[in-house]
Amino acid sequence: MKKICYIVAMEAEARPFIEAYNIRLVPDFFAPLPCQLYEAEVNGSWLYVVLNGRQHEMDLVGCEPACVATQVAIQRLHPDLVVSSGTCGGFKMKGANIADVYIGNGAIFHDRRVSGDDEWNVQGLGNYPVWEGSAELADKLGLKMGKVTTGSSLDMQPIDRDIILEHGGELKDMEGAAVGFVCQLYGVPVLYVKAVTDLCDGGESTYEEFSRNLKAASETLRQVNEQIISELLR
């Protein structure tokens, strides 16, 4: 029996997908942690969705909640595959459009800088591997691929931009590499599925663009995730 575990930061990103599969909440499964487990049986396999959870009436976005959620999900659920699914910023100059869905072909951190320390900088960058079936899946579903680049902020400072471009980053988010870090420690493969809510080089306020497009991007994310589930859990 296969087990696939989605790790998702925002309820709005997961809600259309949860509803499509009628995935049920398992209350307090991870208590006292804020993470929330949803589960469903699909074609004799387990489909899990773990949300980072909420604090101060807000979804917990960012690397720390993503690490906690991934860690506890792997330890308690033993998934065969983790899927880091959510929204991201894209780059117009690299051909991204709002609501495009990408499959990740690598994951780095872009805002961890310790100047003068080359070894730490290698560790800081991360460069985590993705599930080996990612390219074949992207090809089959006709999806673009791009490198996930993760930091702790929604905005993009000039130094972030330089590091992102220097290392070929394309999909700017706040959780991907953190999920990849934990998956690498456990040797669990990770697939990235990312929908574009905003264009980092589009000249608009990121927060406004993100807020305006969150619903549409979460909807294309649902469509692609349904295709992925029917490929992976036949």
**Beta carbon nearer to ligand SAH, 29 or 172:** 172
Check binding of 174 to ligand SAH (CB under 6 A).
yes
* Beta strand 144-150 pairing with 58-59: unpaired
Check binding of 10 to ligand SAH (CB under 6 A).
yes
**Beta carbon nearer to ligand SAH, 39 or 175:** 175
* Beta strand 190-199 pairing with 81-90: parallel
Cβ pair 148, 169 in contact under 8 A: yes
Find the binding residues for ligand SAH in span 69-98 (CB under 6 A).
Answer: 86-89
Q: Closest Cα to residue 24, out of 43, 48, 58?
A: 48
**Beta carbon nearer to ligand SAH, 46 or 224:** 224
Give the integer Cα–Cα distance in Å for 94 and 96.
6
Tokens of 152: 């702790």
How many residues form the binding site for ligand SAH (CB under 6 A)? Answer: 19
CB of 43 to ligand SAH, least distance (A): 30
Check binding of 200 to ligand SAH (CB under 6 A).
yes
Give the integer Cα–Cα distance in Å for 56 and 224.
31
CB of 36 to ligand SAH, least distance (A): 15
Q: Closest Cα to residue 214, out of 82, 89, 107?
A: 89
**Which residues are tagged catalytic?**
13, 198
DSSP alpha helices (H): ranges in 1-133? 11-20, 63-77, 118-125
How far are the Cα atoms of 22, 132, 161 from residue 151, in angstroms, in the given order? Answer: 32, 24, 11
Residues in contact with ligand SAH, shown as a per-residue x/- string from 91 to 130 under the rule CB under 6 A: ----------------------------------------
CB neighbourhood size of 58 (10 A): 8
Residue 130 phi, psi (nearest 5): -110, 165
Check binding of 216 to ligand SAH (CB under 6 A).
no
Check binding of 149 to ligand SAH (CB under 6 A).
no
Residues in contact with ligand SAH, shown as a per-residue x/- string from 17 to 56 under the rule CB under 6 A: ----------------------------------------
Residues that bind ligand SAH (CB under 6 A): 9-10, 58-59, 61, 86-89, 154, 172-175, 197-198, 200, 206, 210
